[in-house]
Amino acid sequence: MTTSNMGLVALAAATIFVGALWAGVPIAGLAPLLILLACPLMMMFMMSGMHGRSHDRVAPREEHTHH
């Protein structure tokens, strides 16, 4: 998932959370849902941060020959 998509996912989650609170759903009613979503959401955010590192490999060192 790209960084721009992660922002959209976070915005959608925040909108749903605020909308549920505005509709009168108590926070205690949202807690089980938040706990269930915590693991996959953290995995998505952490894996997206690791994705770009595979392209930043350092070139192998060239061996210097002494003449």
Classify residue 55: in a domain, yes or no.
no
Classify residue 61: in a domain, yes or no.
no
Query: What pLDDT does residue 2 have?
Result: 61
CB within 8 Å of 67: residues ≥ 6 apart: none
Query: What pLDDT does residue 14 have?
Result: 85
pLDDT tens series, the chain, 67 aa = 566 677 787 788 888 889 999 999 898 888 888 888 888 878 877 777 676 555 555 555 666 666 6
CB within 8 Å of 17: residues ≥ 6 apart: 30
Classify residue 16: in a domain, yes or no.
yes
Classify residue 59: in a domain, yes or no.
no
Which residues form the domain of 29? 3-49
Q: Count the domains in the chain.
A: 1
- What is the Cα–Cα distance from 29 to 21, expressed in whole angstroms? 10
Q: What is the pTM of this model?
A: 0.50
